[in-house]
A and B are shown apart, each in its own frame.
Chain A
Amino acid sequence: MRDHIVIIGAGKFGSYLASKLSADGQDVVLIDKDEKSFKNVSDDFAGIEINDDAFEASTLEEAEITKASQVVIATESDNTNIFLASICDELYHVKKIFVRQSNNDKDQLFKLTKLNVINPFDLSIKRYVEITSEEKN
């Protein structure tokens, strides 16, 4: 069965992920309030693009958020991402929530949540450590 996946934020990460998941056959909805952001989406994207503010309940409802098996929140603002993640969790009870974190300042806050945090900085460090320790062995 196809998964219904909602992605909020059509930056490079959100757009690329939406294109990939759509190519994999998933049912994808991509939301961004800035129309220009959608230029990053691949031409064969078969999902739905919603050009509206995700803070409006009507936008999330149009995206059928309650049917989503997962939501990926990747706007450029950590504060927006945190607020949206809380809304998706507490108000719409989405089972799996991914949040992109760009500034490590709020590590303590993220650790207190059950969100799946994707932090490019941490991933880079982790990868560096992996490679260097592989070389040592």
Chain B
Amino acid sequence: MRILVAGGRNEADFIIKKFKEEKHQITVVNQDVDYCKYLSKENHVIVYNGDPTLVSVLNEAGIQQADLVVALCTKDEDNFVICEVASKVFNIPRIICTVTNPKNVDVFHSLGIRSVVSSADFLVQTIQAEVNFENVVKSLALEQDKIAMLEIKLNSPDLAIIGKTLAQLENTRLYTIACIYRKTQVVIPSGNTEIKYGDKLFVVTTYPDKDAVVRYIQKKVPKEREQ
């Protein structure tokens, strides 16, 4: 696919590298001379130095041939203009843009621009996911970070582990469920203890394996494929 990346700095860098890995043909239009010099050295992409909101610059950069335009300028009005020019003047089929002000996601949608990404919104989602994760899993490192003690709350009914007995669990050489806190009772489990929704598991594992163990315990039952 031929992709034109207009504006941006760090995010442009990252996206360009990703696109290159996927063998897309990249053209970059950026106003910053030093950044253009750096990019042309680093990434072997076609680089045009100029204001990416100008029709003449985009035209010279060969925007007509692009299958996708990505607008990454810091000013939302600049990205709006790039979207308008790309879609209305050059009939580019696919356009993605970022906005700095999260309120502009809705504004851009109302103005007919469909693919709008707000980095602030992404940040909020990521933080929320992290915060939720922190609440569910607590970990304690012992013996200079060699042993990890995890406290994992099974707060979702669709976890694959629910309903199994300890003897039915997989990967048990990586961890031991030392204790289960169920309602207000402490259960020291044996092989035929069944794991239930709402349990809080106390798991002992090695520190390097702890993320894999958390992933296994939090794995959900695969959804049936739609026919």
Residues of chain A having any CB pair with chain B under 8 Å: 55, 57, 77-80, 82-84, 86-87, 90-91, 103, 105-106, 108-109, 112
Contacts and interface: CB of A to CB of B under 8 A. Distances in A.
Contacts of A87: 107, 111
B81 interface: yes
A83 B80 contact: yes
Contact of A83 (B76, B85, B103, B110): B76
A105 B110 CA distance: 26
Interface in B112-136: 112
Assign chain B's interface to a size class: 20 to 34
A55 B77 contact: yes
Interface of B is mostly: helix
A79 B55 contact: no
Contacts of A77: 77
A77 to B, nearest CB: 7
A86 B56 contact: no
A109 B53 contact: no
Interface in B53-89: 53-56, 75-78, 80-81, 84-85, 88-89
Contacts of A80: 77
A90 B81 contact: no
A79 B80 contact: yes
Nearest to A53: B101
B77 A106 contact: no
Closest 3 CB pairs of A and B: A83-B77, A79-B81, A83-B80
B107 A79 contact: no
B213 to A, nearest CB: 48
24 contacts: A55-B76, A55-B77, A55-B101, A55-B104, A79-B78, A79-B81, A80-B77, A83-B77, A83-B80, A86-B80, A86-B84, A86-B111, A90-B110, A90-B111, A103-B54, A105-B54, A105-B56, A106-B54, A106-B55, A108-B55, A108-B89, A109-B81, A109-B88, A112-B88
Contacts of B56: 105
Interface of B: 53-56, 75-78, 80-81, 84-85, 88-89, 101, 103-104, 107, 110-112
A106 B55 CA distance: 6
B31 to A, nearest CB: 12
B80 A109 contact: no
Nearest to B88: A112
A113 to B, nearest CB: 9
B26 to A, nearest CB: 24
Contact of B89 (A57, A82, A83, A112): A112
A74 B53 CA distance: 18
Nearest to A108: B89
B54 to A, nearest CB: 5
Contacts of B54: 103, 105-106
Contacts of B104: 55
A55 B76 CA distance: 10
A78 B85 CA distance: 13
Nearest to B107: A87
Contacts of A55: 76-77, 101, 104
B130 to A, nearest CB: 30
A83 B53 CA distance: 12
